[in-house]
C-alpha cells in the first residue's frame, strides 16, 4: 500500500520528498554558549529522510534562554557550527528549518545574562519548573517588558532569521506555541498589559505579527513558517477563549504567502505526552482558515497520520517522539516495520545515549544478525 505520507509536497520554494516532518525537539546537547556540536550534526544527519526537519527550538538572543545547553543563532560561532548541521542534512537529501525561540517567563535568573529576571509581557510568574546549571527550580518571577524594549526583541527575531539563512537553513519557524514569549503575549492568562500589546485580540496578537513580519522582511514569506498550540498548558498558560484567539491569529496568517502553518493538537501535554483517545480537533477547525500548507502535530502515529491526510485536514504531519527513537522513521512507515521505543530518561541528558545511538532498521538487523 502506498502511503499518502510518503508522497511529495511543495513547501515554499521546496519540493519535499515526503509529508513527514520531524517535529522540533529540544535535546540540550549543544554547548553552554549555545553552539551546536558534532553530536548535533550526527543527530540531524541521521534523520534527514524526513521531508522536512524543524530544528530544536533555537534562541534568538541570550535573554531567551530557559533551558541549559540549548542552541542559539546570535553569535558567529553558532552560525558557523549550524553550517555543519545544515550541510549534513542537505548532503543526505533533506531540508531543515530553524525554530526561532524566546522563552519569556519560562526561565530563571540562573539562566539569564547577569542573573537578571526573565522578561515577559506582564509580571505574572509561570507555574512549573526549569532545569538550571544548579538543579531544577521553580520558574523565576518575570518583569514586564517596557513598551520601548519591544522593538528590540522584534528586531532580534528578524536578525535570527537572517542568521539562520546564513547558517544554511532552508527557512525558519516562528515558535509561537507552548507558552513561550509569543504565546505569552497571545494568551490573556499571561498578558495583562494595558498598552497596544494587551487587551483585545488585535493587541495581544500584535507581537506575533510584528515578529513574523520581521522574519518575513529578513528572509521572505516563503521561507517562514509558524507553530501554534491552542489550549496549551505549558508553564500554566491559559486563555479565556482559546479558539477565538487562535482563529483570529490564523485568519491573520492567511494571505501572506507563508511557508506553512504548524499546529499542535490540544490533546498534547507538556513533554509530548497526550490525552489518550482524544481526536485531533485543531486541524479540522483551523486548517480551513489558512491558505498554505498545514502541518498537524501531536500524538500521531502512522495510521492517525494517514487518516488526517485522507480527511484533508492536513498536508503534512509532524512526529516528535517517534523521530527521537527512529532515525529512519519514513522507511519504517513505508514498510510497516516495528518502531524502536523511546526512552524519556534520555530526552535532555548530555551525550550520545538516547540521542545518536538509536539504530536504523538496517543497523538493528545487522546487530541482531
Ligand atoms: C523531548 C521533547 C522536546 C521538545 N522540544 C520542543 C521544541 O523545542 N519546540 C517545540 O515547538 N516543541 C517541542 N516539543 C514538542 C514536540 O515538537 C511535539 O509537538 C510533541 O512531542 C508531540 O508530538 P509527538 O506526539 O509526535 O511526540 C518537544 C517534545 C519533546 C518530547
Mean pLDDT, range 131-138, rounded to an integer: 93
Mean pLDDT, range 264-286, rounded to an integer: 91
Q: Among 20, 24, 262, 267, name the best residue to mutate to test ligand 1's pocket (greatest count of ligand atoms within 8 A of Cβ).
A: 24
Ligand 1 site residues (CB inside 6 A) read: 23-26, 56-57, 99, 175, 177-178, 227, 264, 268, 271-272, 274, 297-300, 319-322, 347
Instruction: Write the pLDDT tens digit of every residue in 82-110.
Output: 999 999 999 999 999 999 999 999 999 99
Ligand 1 atom with the smallest distance to the CA of 23 is 17
pLDDT value, residue 322: 98
Residue 367 has pLDDT above 80, yes or no: no
Question: For residue 332, what is the enclosing H or E element?
Answer: helix 329-334
pLDDT value, residue 317: 98
Residue 369 has pLDDT above 70, yes or no: no
Work out the pLDDT band at 27, boundaries 50, 70, 90: very high
State in Å: Cα 24 to ligand 1 middle: 6
Q: Among 40, 226, 320, name the best residue to mutate to test ligand 1's pocket (greatest count of ligand atoms within 8 A of Cβ).
A: 320
- Report the alpha-carbon distance of residue 48 to residue 330 in Å, rounded: 10
Q: Among 5, 21, 22, 26, name the best residue to mutate to test ligand 1's pocket (greatest count of ligand atoms within 8 A of Cβ).
A: 26
State in Å: Cα 194 to ligand 1 middle: 33
Catalytically active residues are 180
* Percentage of the residues of the chain whose pLDDT score is greater than 70: 99
For 157-185, give the DSSP string: HHHHHHHHHHTT-SEEEEE--TTSHHHHH
pLDDT value, residue 359: 98
The answer to whether the beta carbons of residues 119 and 145 sit under 8 Å apart is: yes
Work out the pLDDT band at 277, boundaries 50, 70, 90: confident
Residue 221 has pLDDT above 90, yes or no: yes
- Please report, for residues 20, 131, 209, 255, 271, the alpha-carbon distance to residue 306 in angstroms, rounded to integers and kept in the order given: 11, 37, 32, 27, 24
Q: HSE-up of 345 (CA within 13 Å, CB side)?
A: 1
pLDDT value, residue 314: 98
Please list the helix, strand and coil fractions of the chain in percent, rounded to the nearest 5, in that order.
Answer: 40, 15, 45
- Please report, for residues 29, 268, 279, 294, the alpha-carbon distance to residue 71 in angstroms, rounded to integers and kept in the order given: 8, 24, 34, 26
Instruction: Write the pLDDT tens digit of every residue in 300-325.
Output: 999 999 999 999 999 999 999 999 99
Mind listing the domains of the chain with CATH numbers?
4-368 (3.20.20.70)
E strands, 266-327, are: 294-297, 316-319
- Report the alpha-carbon distance of residue 316 to residue 263 in Å, rounded: 11
Instruction: Write the pLDDT tens digit of every residue in 36-88.
Output: 999 999 999 999 999 999 999 999 999 999 999 999 999 999 999 999 999 99
Query: Helix 150-166 crosses helix 76-91 at what angle (to 10 degrees)?
Result: 40
Amino acid at each position: 500500500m502506498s502511503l499518502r505520507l510518503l508522497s511529495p509536497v511543495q513547501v515554499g520554494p521546496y519540493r519535499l520528498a515526503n509529508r513527514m516532518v520531524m517535529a522540533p525537539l529540544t535535546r540540550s546537547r549543544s554547548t553552554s554558549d549555545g553552539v551546536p556540536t558534532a553530536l548535533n550534526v550526527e543527530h540531524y544527519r541521521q534523520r534527514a529522510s524526513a521531508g522536512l526537519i524543524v530544528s530544536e527550538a533555537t534562541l534568538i538572543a541570550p535573554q531567551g534562554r530557559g533551558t541549559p545547553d540549548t542552541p542559539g543563532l546570535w553569535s558567529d560561532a553558532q552560525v558557523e557550527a549550524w553550517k555543519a548541521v545544515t550541510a549534513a542534512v542537505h548532503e543526505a537529501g533533506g531540508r531543515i528549518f530553524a525554530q526561532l525561540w524566546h522563552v519569556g517567563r519560562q526561565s530563571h535568573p540562573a539562566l539569564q545574562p547577569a542573573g537578571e529576571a526573565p522578561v515577559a509581557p506582564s509580571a505574572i510568574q509561570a507555574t512549573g519548573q526549569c532545569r538550571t546549571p544548579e538543579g531544577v527550580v521553580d520558574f523565576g518571577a518575570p518583569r514586564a517588558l517596557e513598551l520601548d524594549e519591544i522593538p528590540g526583541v522584534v528586531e532580534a527575531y528578524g536578525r535570527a532569521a537572517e542568521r539562520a539563512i546564513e547558517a544554511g537553513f532552508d527557512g525558519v519557524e516562528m515558535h509561537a506555541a507552548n507558552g513561550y514569549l509569543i504565546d505569552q503575549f497571545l494568551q490573556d492568562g499571561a498578558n495583562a498589559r494595558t498598552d497596544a500589546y494587551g487587551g483585545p485580540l488585535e493587541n495581544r496578537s500584535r507581537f506575533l505579527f510584528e515578529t513574523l513580519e520581521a522574519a518575513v522582511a529578513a528572509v521572505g514569506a516563503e521561507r517562514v513558517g509558524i507553530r501554534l498550540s491552542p489550549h496549551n498548558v505549558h508553564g500554566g498558560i491559559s486563555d479565556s477563549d482559546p479558539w477565538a484567539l487562535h482563529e483570529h491569529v490564523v485568519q491573520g496568517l492567511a494571505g501572506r504567502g507563508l511557508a506553512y502553518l504548524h499546529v499542535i493538537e490540544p490533546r498534547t501535554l507538556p513533554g509530548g505526552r497526550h490525552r489518550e483517545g482524544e481526536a485531533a480537533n485543531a486541524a479540522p477547525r483551523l486548517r480551513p482558515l489558512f491558505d498554505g500548507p498545514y502541518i498537524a502535530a501531536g500524538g500521531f502515529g502512522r495510521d492517525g497520520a494517514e487518516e488526517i491526510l485522507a480527511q484533508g485536514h492536513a498536508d503534512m504531519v509532524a512526529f516528535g517522539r517517534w523521530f527521537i527513537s527512529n532515525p529512519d522513521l519514513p522507511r519504517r512507515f513505508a514498510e510497516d516495520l516495528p518502531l524502536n521505543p523511546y526512552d524519556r530518561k534520555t530526552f535532555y541528558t548530555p551525550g550520545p545515549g538516547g540521542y545518536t545511538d538509536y539504530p536504523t532498521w538496517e543497523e538493528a538487523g545487522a546487530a541482531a544478525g
